[in-house]
């Protein structure tokens, strides 16, 4: 993160950094103070745009054409880093060929960002030594998520913005411990330490620790709900997640939760999802337990218990260990540090991280041995896979588009004072007062056309469902574009979003839904 404050150019794509990652944005402000320039790509004039040197009001879901056009400009104007491409990458020519026709004018016709703005972004990015890209869900929650990120990697590689301080493409994590959860293998296609179940050595390695186990790739949450719907999946155990509000297509989600024969929900509060559960397991909050979180920076940090668990609640690890015991497994952990010890063996990248070492200051993985100092920057000198591979990422429309029936594009997101589905923040007095209810951001011109007044409740309908929320009229959003925060159960944005998935990793396109407005 410190890298960020030394950057000379920061390109923020699909990240409302000030509001969603206030501390990361502190680093952006630091960099600006030192003279850095800031470029923002977003369908909403987010707060950062007030400080930006360039702003691209992009049509939701069309980042890919814009990025490809930037690459096109950089190649055409010969701003590439030839040496880097030659020594550290492969497959450049094929990629180059693929963006031949991706002119800024072509991109403008799709993404609505003026061609000259695209040129300005491309030139600045290519010609700045320390240029960093920051992105979050604005890029990932669309049907071209993977392609867009690969295209960003192309962009970083043709200009050699990789593997040095204050460069690279940097996803900011949505939660304090998404990174940690992924590291632990809370993903359908990885075991702890990002080991693929299909690799032959994986099973061998883990069997040594756990004994024999079924080493198969799992399903992601979207697929699981579909399997429930098809009657194939018979039980679900949901830990610390509120899919009724956070997953796309709420109606479908509720239907599946109702249908699944056995549902266990483990959470610190009784959530909307818990309403459907056969068994609810009360978990202890971060203040009531020990353990570690791993942040965006791959830094593994301790959390310390401040108070004893309230009521019958228990730390998640204890609940899981209890369940393991009852189904006849070994779970002889005295505490989280025993689990960490097991992890040292299980995941190479965590090899040398122990509670004792991180009690004061965290360590960044990979940290291979007890003496290893941790790794602040990845990919120094060489990529993990050897040479950086250029990829071809052609744009195609998948999923929702504007139509006569649904002339608006809805994008979803958050507000500073709320966290996710509001299970915690809506219980905090100050925060709840700041945003007592949801809203729909709508451009002044669209509101005028439809005769909508500020704060007037309006109905928004997509092919999936319909919600009502008060209008918030603003000129800080693109025309014909709406924004609804997804925190509020009374106006659940995810009743509108759909199951349009990125074909590669199946992430839902929460940021792009076609909708219409009805004035109540």
Partner 1 sequence: MEANRLYKLNRDKLDQVLDIWNENSSVYIPVGKGRDIQLLPLGEGERTEDYINLTLPVKEMVFEQKEGLFKWTRDEEGIHVEGLAHQHSKDRILFGVRACDTYGVAYTDRFYLGEFPDPNYKSRRTETTIVAVNCLRAGEHCFCTSVGTGVFSTVGHDLALTPFDSHYLVEVGTPKGQGLIDRAQTFFTETDEGMLKEKNNLMARVEESFPLKMDLTNLWDDMAKTFNADFWLDEAHACIGCTGCTNVCPTCTCFNVVEENTDEDHGQRVRYWDSCQIDHFTRNAEHHNPRDAVSRVRYRIYDKLKYIEERFGYKGCSGCGRCTDVCPTYISIIDIIGKIQEAARENPEPPAIHQITKIRHEIMDREIKSQNGLFSPDVATITRVKQETPEIKRLFMKYDDPELHKNYEHKGQFFQVTVFGEGEVPLSIPYGPEMTDELVFDFKNVGSVTEKLFQMKEGDKVGLRGPYGRAFPYESLKGRNLIFIGSGVAMAPLRTIIEPVMSNHADFKQVYVMASALRYEKLLYKEEMLEWAKVPNLTVKYALKYPTDKVDAYSGYVNDLLPDLDLDWTETTALLCASPERIKKLARDLMDLGMKPTNILVTLETHMRCGAGKCGHCKVGSHYMCVDGPVFNYEEMMALPNEY
Contact 30, 7 (CB under 8 A): no
Shorter beta-carbon distance to partner 1: residue 26 or 175: 26
**CA pair distance 167, 132, nearest whole angstrom:** 4
Helix-helix angle 63-76:145-158, to 10 degrees: 20
When asked if residue 30 is in the footprint of partner 1 (CB under 8 A), the reply is yes
Shortest CB 40 distance to partner 1, Å = 13
Query: Among 312, 305, 308, 246, which residue's Cα sits nearest to residue 280?
Result: 312
- The pair of three-digit structure tokens given for residue 124, joined into one six-digit string: 């600045």
- The pair of three-digit structure tokens given for residue 178, joined into one six-digit string: 């998404």
Q: Among 16-24, 83-91, 167-175, 186-194, which window interacts with partner 1 (CB under 8 A)?
A: 16-24
Q: Among 176-184, 237-245, 297-305, 427-435, which window interacts with partner 1 (CB under 8 A)?
A: 427-435
Shortest CB 497 distance to partner 1, Å = 26
DSSP state at residue 247 = S
**CA pair distance 342, 359, nearest whole angstrom:** 18
Helix H or strand E segment including 472: strand 466-474
Q: Which of residues 444-503 bind partner 1 (CB under 8 A)?
A: 454-455
CB atoms under 10 Å from CB of 65, counted, come to 26
Query: Among 511, 488, 502, which residue's Cα sits nearest to residue 412?
Result: 511
Shortest CB 25 distance to partner 1, Å = 7
Strand intervals (E) in 14-130: 37-41, 54-56, 89-90
Shorter beta-carbon distance to partner 1: residue 311 or 436: 436
Helix H or strand E segment including 433: helix 429-434
Q: Among 19-27, 55-63, 93-101, 187-195, which window interacts with partner 1 (CB under 8 A)?
A: 19-27
Query: Among 149, 153, 133, which residue's Cα sits nearest to residue 85?
Result: 153
DSSP state at residue 454 = T
**CA pair distance 520, 5, nearest whole angstrom:** 48
When asked if residue 433 is in the footprint of partner 1 (CB under 8 A), the reply is yes
Residue from 6, 19, 288, 290 in contact with partner 1 (CB under 8 A): 19
**CA pair distance 476, 342, nearest whole angstrom:** 50
Q: Among 75-83, 129-137, 433-441, 506-514, which window interacts with partner 1 (CB under 8 A)?
A: 433-441
Q: Among 17-25, 190-198, 226-234, 441-449, which window interacts with partner 1 (CB under 8 A)?
A: 17-25
When asked if residue 8 is in the footprint of partner 1 (CB under 8 A), the reply is no
Q: Among 192-200, 286-294, 397-405, 432-440, which window interacts with partner 1 (CB under 8 A)?
A: 432-440
Query: DSSP assignment of 310-370, as one string?
Result: PTT-B-HHHHHHHHHHHTT-----SSHHHHHHHHHHH-GGGTT--HHHHSSS-EESP--ST
- The pair of three-digit structure tokens given for residue 203, joined into one six-digit string: 């099973």
Residue from 4, 11, 18, 228 in contact with partner 1 (CB under 8 A): 18
> What's the gap between Cα 262 and its chain centre?
29
Burial of residue 41 (number of CB atoms within 10 Å: 0-12, 13-18, 19+): buried
Shorter beta-carbon distance to partner 1: residue 327 or 433: 433
When asked if residue 430 is in the footprint of partner 1 (CB under 8 A), the reply is yes
Q: Among 347-355, 366-374, 381-389, 428-436, which window interacts with partner 1 (CB under 8 A)?
A: 428-436
Shortest CB 66 distance to partner 1, Å = 25
Q: Which of residues 334-363 bind partner 1 (CB under 8 A)?
A: none
Residue from 3, 4, 7, 25 in contact with partner 1 (CB under 8 A): 25
> What's the gap between Cα 49 and its chain centre?
21
Residue from 251, 391, 416, 466 in contact with partner 1 (CB under 8 A): 416
When asked if residue 26 is in the footprint of partner 1 (CB under 8 A), the reply is yes
Q: Among 7-15, 22-30, 292-300, 494-502, which window interacts with partner 1 (CB under 8 A)?
A: 22-30
> What's the gap between Cα 476 and its chain centre?
23
Shorter beta-carbon distance to partner 1: residue 360 or 520: 360
Contact 151, 67 (CB under 8 A): yes
Shortest CB 452 distance to partner 1, Å = 15
Shorter beta-carbon distance to partner 1: residue 30 or 338: 30
> What's the gap between Cα 301 and its chain centre?
20
Residue from 53, 123, 130, 417 in contact with partner 1 (CB under 8 A): 417
Shortest CB 251 distance to partner 1, Å = 30
Shortest CB 322 distance to partner 1, Å = 31
DSSP state at residue 44 = B
Contact 240, 209 (CB under 8 A): no
Shorter beta-carbon distance to partner 1: residue 18 or 513: 18
CB atoms under 10 Å from CB of 234, counted, come to 10
- The pair of three-digit structure tokens given for residue 403, joined into one six-digit string: 């139509």
Shorter beta-carbon distance to partner 1: residue 26 or 444: 26
When asked if residue 47 is in the footprint of partner 1 (CB under 8 A), the reply is yes
When asked if residue 305 is in the footprint of partner 1 (CB under 8 A), the reply is no
When asked if residue 15 is in the footprint of partner 1 (CB under 8 A), the reply is no
When asked if residue 6 is in the footprint of partner 1 (CB under 8 A), the reply is no
Q: Among 154-162, 185-193, 343-351, 430-438, which window interacts with partner 1 (CB under 8 A)?
A: 430-438
**CA pair distance 313, 205, nearest whole angstrom:** 34
Question: How many residues form the binding site for partner 1 (CB under 8 A)?
Answer: 21
When asked if residue 311 is in the footprint of partner 1 (CB under 8 A), the reply is no
Shortest CB 50 distance to partner 1, Å = 4
**Site residues (vs partner 1, CB under 8 A):** 18-19, 22-23, 25-26, 29-30, 33, 47, 50-51, 416-417, 429-430, 433-434, 436, 454-455
């Amino acid at each position: 993160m410190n890298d960020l404050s030394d950057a000379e150019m920061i390109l923020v794509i699909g990240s409302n950094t000030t509001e969603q990652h206030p501390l990361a944005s502190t680093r952006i402000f630091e960099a600006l103070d030192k003279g850095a320039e800031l470029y923002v790509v977003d369908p909403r004039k987010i707060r950062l745009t007030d400080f930006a040197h360039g702003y691209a009001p992009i049509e939701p879901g069309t980042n890919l054409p814009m990025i490809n056009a930037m690459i096109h400009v950089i190649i055409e104007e010969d701003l590439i880093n030839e040496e880097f491409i030659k020594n550290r990458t492969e497959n450049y020519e094929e990629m180059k060929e693929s963006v031949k026709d991706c002119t800024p004018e072509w991109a403008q016709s799709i993404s609505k960002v003026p061609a000259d703005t695209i040129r300005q972004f491309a030139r600045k990015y290519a010609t700045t030594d320390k240029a960093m890209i920051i992105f979050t869900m604005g890029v990932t929650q669309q049907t071209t998520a993977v392609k867009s990120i690969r295209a960003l990697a192309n962009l970083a590689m043709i200009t050699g913005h990789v593997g040095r301080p204050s460069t690279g493409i940097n996803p900011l994590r949505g939660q304090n411990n998404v990174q940690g959860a992924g590291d632990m293998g809370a993903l359908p296609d990885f075991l702890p330490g990002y080991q693929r179940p299909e690799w032959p050595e994986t099973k061998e390695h883990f069997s040594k620790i756990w004994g024999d186990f079924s080493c198969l790739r799992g399903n992601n949450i979207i697929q699981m709900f579909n399997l429930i719907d098809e009657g194939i999946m018979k039980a679900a155990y949901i830990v610390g997640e509120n899919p009724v509000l956070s997953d796309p297509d709420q109606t479908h989600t509720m239907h599946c939760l109702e249908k699944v024969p056995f549902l266990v929900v483990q959470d610190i509060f009784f959530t909307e999802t818990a309403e459907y559960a056969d068994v609810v397991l009360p978990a202890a909050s971060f203040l009531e337990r020990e353990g570690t979180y791993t942040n965006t920076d791959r830094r593994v940090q301790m959390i310390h218990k401040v108070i004893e668990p309230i009521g019958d609640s228990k730390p998640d690890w204890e609940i899981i260990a209890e369940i393991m015991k009852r189904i006849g497994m070994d779970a002889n952990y005295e505490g989280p540090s025993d689990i960490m010890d097991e992890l040292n063996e299980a995941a190479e990248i965590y090899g040398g991280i122990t509670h004792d070492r991180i009690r004061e200051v965290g360590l960044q993985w990979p940290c291979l041995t007890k003496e290893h100092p941790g790794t602040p920057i990845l990919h120094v000198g060489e990529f993990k896979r050897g040479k950086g591979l250029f990829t071809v990422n052609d744009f195609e429309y998948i999923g929702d588009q504007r139509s006569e029936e649904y002339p608006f594009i809805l994008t979803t997101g958050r507000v500073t004072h709320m966290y996710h589905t509001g299970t915690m923040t809506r219980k905090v007095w100050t925060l709840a007062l700041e945003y007592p209810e949801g809203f729909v951001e709508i451009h002044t011109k669209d509101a005028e056309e439809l005769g909508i007044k500020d704060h007037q409740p309006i109905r928004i309908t997509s092919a999936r469902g319909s919600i009502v929320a008060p209008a918030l009229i603003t000129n800080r959003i693109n025309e014909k574009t709406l924004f609804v925060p997804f925190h509020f159960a009374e106006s659940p944005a995810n009743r509108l979003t759909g199951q349009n998935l990125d074909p590669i990793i199946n992430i839902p396109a929460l940021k792009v839904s076609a909708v219409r407005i009805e004035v109540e």
